[in-house]
Amino acid sequence: MTRELKEVQGIIFKRQKYKEADLLAKIMTKENGIITLVVKGALRPKSKLGAATLNFSYGDYVIYTSGHGLSNLRTYKEVRQFDGLYNDLTKNAYASFILDLIDHAFVEYQPLGRYYDLADFALKKINDGVDAEMITQIVQMQLLSAYGVEPQLRQCVICGRQKGIFDYSIKLGGVICSDHFRTENSRLHLKPKETAILRTIGLLPIQRLGNISINEETKKATRKAIDRIYRQTIDLNLKTKKFLDELKFF
Ligand SMILES: [Zn+2]
């Protein structure tokens, strides 16, 4: 396959040492998917490429690529950084988990489409100080479809009812209405308000979800439910998630 120079727009999110002073950095782009870049000499002091590929940097990068395997970073234009994410341990942990989660849902170079917008939206919000826990829950609910396990949130999975009181069933893959509460024993026994939040954050376009505010108790319950949904349908075991959970004990 031929190699070509290409300009891509994206967010840098994972770095690891490569050969000598070189670095491997992952970039998340919309049209070209997730790409691992070799950044030559990035670990040398004063390296401009190194500075442009710090975690949570974003902008236009010029890469030399064949569309598979490793690509090379050649230069960059107008790179900025979400410095709120870079400097704050908690925000950093949430953002790293979100990007990790998206990373695992796609193979390299697979276009991300609206999931790129979801990542971009989430990072901007967390960077600006919006409730990171809530933003993360939104991303998790919306990302289930990228993993091929999109839940039925619009209507009861059994009878199709769209309005009323609902609970969630992982086994049935979505919400069930109160008509089946007595007979359906796979349900999570969430409070109606908690299921309503899962539906809202899973269904609404992200642009309309910016200012959602929920009390701590409800947020904890939806967190637990989402963790269960992920554990029982995808089972990822991500280090970034473990770290985030540990961080909450402090
Ligand atoms: Zn029903």
Considering the domain architecture, whether residues 90 and 140 belong to the same structural domain is answered as yes
Range of the domain at 215: 85-150+187-247
Element (H, E) at 89: helix 89-105
pLDDT digits (tens, 9 = 90+) for 185-198: 999 999 999 999 99
* Residue 184, phi-psi category: left (phi > 0), alpha (psi -120 to 50), beta (remainder): beta
Q: How far is the CA of 248 from the centre of ligand 1 (A)?
A: 37
Q: How far is the CA of 157 from the centre of ligand 1 (A)?
A: 7
Considering the domain architecture, whether residues 105 and 42 belong to the same structural domain is answered as no
pLDDT of residue 249: 72
Considering the domain architecture, whether residues 68 and 96 belong to the same structural domain is answered as no
Considering the domain architecture, whether residues 140 and 236 belong to the same structural domain is answered as yes
**166 located within any domain:** no
Q: How many domains does the chain have?
A: 2
List the structure tokens of 93.
């942990």
Q: What is the mean pLDDT of residues 105-113?
A: 96
Considering the domain architecture, whether residues 53 and 103 belong to the same structural domain is answered as no
Considering the domain architecture, whether residues 218 and 133 belong to the same structural domain is answered as yes
pLDDT digits (tens, 9 = 90+) for 1-49: 689 999 999 999 999 999 999 999 999 999 899 999 999 999 999 999 9
**38 located within any domain:** yes
Q: How far is the CA of 25 from the centre of ligand 1 (A)?
A: 48
Q: How far is the CA of 29 from the centre of ligand 1 (A)?
A: 40
Going by pLDDT thresholds of 50, 70 and 90, the confidence category of residue 250 is low
The DSSP secondary-structure symbol of 175 reads E
Considering the domain architecture, whether residues 25 and 139 belong to the same structural domain is answered as no
Q: How far is the CA of 162 from the centre of ligand 1 (A)?
A: 8
If one counts every other C-beta atom within 10 angstroms of the C-beta of residue 61, the result is 29
**8 located within any domain:** yes
Distant-in-sequence, close-in-space partners of 186: CB < 8 Å, separation ≥ 6:
169, 170, 171, 172
Q: How far is the CA of 188 from the centre of ligand 1 (A)?
A: 15
Q: Which of 81, 104, 136 is the last residue of a domain?
A: 81
Among candidate residues 19, 188, 26, 11, the one with its CA nearest the CA of residue 85: 11
